[in-house]
Amino acid sequence: MPENFSPQIVAFACHYCAYAAADLAGGMRLEYPPAIKIIELPCTGKLDVLYALRAFEDGADGVMVAG
């Protein structure tokens, strides 16, 4: 694996829990890697597995579901 490898991560985040925490971190000027793409969902319990698989098809190296 190359030394400068930066994995592309797609994070599916619940609006009321994980997305709120990420939004608060942004408000506090905390940084996270730009390779992490956060997608806000009303509830992660309703996440269809096809969305996660589609992220891999579109080039994501990893998928995170946080609720």
Question: Mean pLDDT score of the chain, rounded to an integer?
Answer: 92
CB 55 within 8 A of CB 10: yes
Asked if the model's pLDDT at residue 45 lies above 80, the reply is yes
CB 55 within 8 A of CB 63: yes
Asked if the model's pLDDT at residue 48 lies above 90, the reply is yes
pLDDT tens digits, one per residue of 25-44: 889 999 888 999 999 999 99
